[in-house]
Amino acid sequence: MGLSGWHEALCGVPDSMRAWLLDPGSLTQRICGRCADFTVHEIGQRDAPPLLDEVRITGLGIKQHALLREVYLSCGAMPMVFAHSVLPYPSLVGRWAKLGRLGNHPLGAALFADPQVRRECMQFRKIDARHPLYAQAAAAISRPPPSLWARRSLFALTTRRILVTEVFLPDILTL
């Protein structure tokens, strides 16, 4: 386990969650294929430094700001995934300039629509109340479990990179 607690291999993951975590394709597309009423609800977007465990992977400095975007991916009124994205300002140019203005549109759809975008890595982690993203993800759950599974991916377009973290909420297993 590295200092950040994120792993490149899965350990101790229930089989029911494994397929969701390991899917290399678009999570948006996978949920849409199982849900007739898919929605993206933007919780917020702000100018802020990345979380401490995001600094190294994004290449940003500890006090360097980026655009942070947070949304719920839902099936009807039921949130399935909490997504937290770190969009460094130098990356929001050219074809990625529009990523800072997505609103309730899915980031995944924009990323996977461009064949030149590469997923450079995928890391996994079980998060609990000690991780800053847990409270935000669990806010959508009436009876949150003690921990939630998350994955994060670094996406690249030429030399530009963004980090997308997806926290899977328990109702994802109903799809």
The CATH architecture that domain 15-174 belongs to is 3-Layer(aba) Sandwich (3.40)
Tokens matching residue 24: 């290399």
pLDDT above 70 coverage of the chain, percent: 98
- The answer to whether 85 and 154 are in contact (CB under 8 A) is no
Q: Is the pLDDT of residue 160 over 90?
A: yes
Q: Render 35-96 in DSSP notation, one character per residue.
A: -TTEEEEEEEEEEEPPPHHHHHHHT--TT--EEEEEEEEEETTEEEEEEEEEE-GGGSSGGG
Interatomic CA distance for residues 14 and 61, integer angstroms: 35
Could you report the per-residue pLDDT of 117-127, keeping only the tens digit for each? 999 989 999 99
The pTM score is: 0.95
Amino acid at 22: L
Give me the chain's average pLDDT, please: 94
Quick one: pLDDT band at residue 3, thresholds 50, 70, 90? very low
The domain segmentation of the chain, as residue ranges, is 15-174
